[in-house]
Amino acid sequence: MVRIEIEGRGVLIAGPLEDIARRFEDELVRRGFTRKSLMNQLRLLAHLSRWLQARGIAVGELTAGQVEVFLAERRRTHTGLFSRKALGPTLEWLAYEGVIPAAATIAPTATDPVELVGFEGYLRVERHLAASTIAANVARARRFLAGYAPPEGAVALTAAEVTRALLDEGVTRRPVSVKAFGYTLRALLRFFFITGVTSHDLSAATLVIRSPQPSRLPVGASRDEVAALLVSCDRDTSAGLRDHAVLLLLAHLGLRAIEVARLRLDDLDWRRGEILVRGKGNRDERLPLPAEVGEAVVAYLQEARPAGVGFREVFAADRAPLRPLTREAVGGIVERACDRASLARFGAHRLRHTLGEQMVAAAVPLDAIGQVLRHETALTTAGYARVDVTALRDLAQPWPAMTGGGRS
């Protein structure tokens, strides 16, 4: 039995995991866990150890299913501490140390039908969609097949099931969600027809869901607003150095939030002064790296990036557990900078529009703007033509002269 004291509070660990408790504590401290997070992880270790002992389960034989049973039983009498996400760092470390099988760290999933597995592969290989987009589409397709496919499976689908699914979707969800559901069904049903799962193309049965939106111009932040965001970063701190580099990448190179999150150490070519951008649709493109942006990234790498992290992504979270930034985390950096600069909150994409507007003001041709912003089609870039109000005013024709009390 081991008792670990942290600032006057103790955790008692008994059972098959007590011998490694001290090593686990050292690892949590090394990874920068806060006191509260550290205590929670030790409590989880203690609960898991006692549960294994009570049920006579050997640590080396722990399975993913048994982990789910453990979490389900503990949730009945304890708080939300017992979740797969919360237990993740504990399980990952135990597997890394060889204490439990690696398979025990993987949450069990229901077996998908072969048609859905094929659809996922189609989205990844043929459509080159991002992992998050694939996951969202597969989740909608899985929900449709589970709720509306006949007992015979996808092969027996008819237009009636498709229409009913969309109508049901509209009862409880917003129009934008119903539209996304419709897009997924259309792609799924076309895939089914092309691959011979269904004998008829049922994609035409997907109703057109209209959600009128006002015409939106790509509005960016002003130069003063961008300057205020950059000044708000306290570069005497690790987080401030990181945020300053992230904001410069967004505003001066027009990177998307996900592209900043994906940026890896290998993508920075210091000798050539270039950066490899891992963009949408698995499109990798190189851009020149401006001196100011490069200096900010270097300052972060040399002075602020945590040492010894086990990943190659450039930007890391500043709170434990140490992990690469996500797209959402990059957006949070922009929003917090807005708060510090006393600006109304806006997202990371607005800084991308800022670069587009600046190039329009500098009379950069639209095709060149499209190349810098890495647009898939010229139609997307054409939206920036509308932000040059001065140029558009020159195109406006005077109203016809009034004749005979009316308009001619």
Residue of 122, 244, 262, 384 marked catalytic: 384
> Omega of the bond prior to 321 within 30 degrees of 0, cis?
yes
Report the C-alpha gap between 257 and 125 in whole angstroms.
23
Token pair recorded at residue 188 = 């799924």
* DSSP bridge partners of 97: none
Q: At residue 12, what are phi and psi to the nearest 5 degrees?
A: -100, 120
Residue of 47, 352, 353, 374 marked catalytic: 352
Please compute, for residue 397, the number of CA atoms within 13 A of its CA located in the half-sphere on the CB side: 3
Residue of 127, 280, 336, 340 marked catalytic: 280
Q: Helices 327-340 & 223-231, crossing angle to 10 degrees? A: 100
Closest CA to 321 of 337, 310, 312: 310
The verdict on whether 256 is a catalytic residue reads yes
Residue of 43, 235, 242, 256 marked catalytic: 256
The verdict on whether 55 is a catalytic residue reads no
Residue of 84, 336, 349, 386 marked catalytic: 349
Question: Are 347 and 335 a contacting pair, CB within 8 Å?
Answer: yes
Residue of 235, 244, 353, 375 marked catalytic: 375
Question: Are 360 and 385 a contacting pair, CB within 8 Å?
Answer: yes
For residue 218, the 8-state DSSP code is -
Token pair recorded at residue 207 = 């109703």
Question: Are 99 and 18 a contacting pair, CB within 8 Å?
Answer: no
Report the C-alpha gap between 94 and 286 in whole angstroms.
40
Report the C-alpha gap between 387 and 280 in whole angstroms.
24
Q: At residue 312, what are phi and psi to the nearest 5 degrees?
A: -100, -5
The verdict on whether 375 is a catalytic residue reads yes
Does the CA dihedral 296-298-304-308 come out positive or negative? positive
The verdict on whether 353 is a catalytic residue reads no
Does the CA dihedral 90-96-98-104 come out positive or negative? positive
Torsion of CA 56, 58, 59, 63, to 10 degrees: -90
Annotated active-site positions, please?
Answer: 256, 280, 349, 352, 375, 384
